[in-house]
């Protein structure tokens, strides 16, 4: 009597250039796997959910693929890799909109589109760096220079923000609330230096020196520098307010954990306590920092309205005065939008680092 033909469990994931299929069959030998007319055909004898049987399935792909699948057998499964003809992101695997019952996402390999783009860019950067290093014939030297440069940058930033943090802490312990009102005049020069130097971090991400997305880094740079140079820097009335202390203190508290983590990463060291702090302290501190920045903007609105600074009048025939406070109100909305983008980016980093279980996708 012939064995009953059944369908195995199949799990899939994708990258921009490849599709990954994992067939849950053990003890498989010489499976019949082919692609004809953009349809994947699979047939094999193996041990699956229904015991030892012949299992088979057919999948018509959403878009064109190359007709040369590559597979690898393990004791517990069959791993199939299919190359896409065009490097792009697919909204689903199959041409039919309804997902076959035997098909499910492979959460062990699943990435959303933005994460896959980061991975693709990192691989491309690695490939280009490898070609560049091979052509120059001194990979160790260039790698050492890059690590040394990043180590020194992070060290300088760490020392700068540490000086601010220690200065504010000691003055508060000695003077109490009285220290709030001259925070700006005490540490502003160092904060100016650190925030101007932070431009280098965004440039590093943009040109591929570090494998970090540009948008979160740019949003943080622009947001902080707007508060520092415009809200505090141009208005003497704001420089004596207590909110300056809280903004500077939260900024420095975040960075005294972030920069030493990057320093140690440059020399391939992983201090677990520091790593945990780097991926955890932002959870309360980023919302608090956003709140402190929002308070500073709100407190500055009456001052800008009274002084008329940065306000202007539209030309004839409108002749309407546009107050700078109007743009500050728009900025408040953008501030919390930026918080969401950075929070989402940092949450993804933490999830990848500590391997939290991903939610099932529908």
Give catalytic residue positions.
286, 293
Nearest to 188 by CA among 238, 237, 236, 232: 232
Separation of alpha carbons 42 and 258, rounded Å: 49
Q: How far apart are CA 331 and CA 163, in angstroms?
A: 30
Instruction: Give the C-alpha separation, 111 to 328, whole Å.
Output: 37
Q: How do 18-23 and 312-313 pair as beta strands?
A: unpaired
CA 210 from centre of chain: 12
Place of tokens 């500073």: 296
CB atoms within 10 A of CB 122: 13
Longest dimension (CA), the chain: 94
Q: Rg of the chain's alpha carbons, rounded to an integer?
A: 28
DSSP 298-344: HHHHHHHHHH-TT-EEPPTTT--EE-HHHHHHHHHHHHHHHHHHHHH
Query: What single-letter DSSP state applies at residue 84?
Result: B
Contacts of 26 (CB under 8 A, 6+ apart): 46, 47, 48, 75, 76, 77
């Amino acid at each position: 009597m012939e064995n009953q033909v059944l369908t195995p469990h199949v799990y899939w994931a994708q990258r921009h250039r490849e599709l990954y299929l994992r067939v849950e069959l053990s003890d498989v030998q010489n499976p019949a796997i082919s692609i004809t007319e953009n349809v994947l055909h699979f047939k094999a004898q193996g041990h699956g959910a229904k015991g030892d049987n012949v299992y088979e399935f057919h999948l018509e792909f959403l878009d064109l693929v190359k007709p040369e699948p590559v597979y690898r057998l393990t004791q517990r499964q069959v791993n199939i890799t299919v190359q896409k003809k065009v490097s792009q992101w697919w909204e689903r695997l199959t041409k039919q909109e309804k997902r076959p019952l035997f098909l499910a996402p492979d959460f062990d390999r699943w990435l959303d589109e933005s994460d896959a783009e980061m991975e693709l860019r990192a691989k491309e950067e690695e490939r280009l760096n490898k070609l560049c290093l091979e052509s120059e014939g001194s990979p160790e030297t260039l790698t050492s220079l890059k690590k040394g440069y990043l180590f020194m940058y992070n060290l300088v930033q760490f020392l700068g923000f540490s000086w601010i943090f220690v200065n504010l802490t000691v003055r508060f312990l000695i003077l109490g609330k009285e220290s709030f009102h001259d925070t700006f005049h005490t540490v502003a020069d160092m904060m100016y230096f650190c925030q101007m130097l932070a431009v280098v971090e965004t440039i590093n991400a943009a040109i591929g020196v570090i494998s970090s997305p540009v948008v979160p880094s740019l949003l943080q740079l622009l947001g902080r520098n707007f508060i520092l140079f415009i809200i505090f820097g141009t208005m003497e009335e704001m420089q004596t307010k207590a909110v300056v202390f809280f903004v500077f203190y939260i900024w420095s508290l975040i960075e005294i954990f972030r920069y030493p983590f990057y320093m140690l990463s440059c020399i391939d060291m992983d201090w677990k306590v520091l790593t945990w702090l780097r991926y955890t302290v932002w959870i309360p501190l980023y919302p608090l920092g956003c709140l402190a920045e929002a308070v500073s903007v709100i407190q500055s609105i009456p001052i800008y309205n009274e002084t008329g600074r940065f306000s202007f009048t539209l030309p004839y025939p409108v002749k309407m005065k546009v107050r700078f406070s109007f743009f500050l109100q728009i900025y408040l909305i953008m501030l919390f939008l930026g918080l969401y983008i950075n929070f989402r980016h940092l949450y993804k980093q933490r999830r990848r680092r500590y391997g939290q279980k991903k939610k099932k996708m529908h």
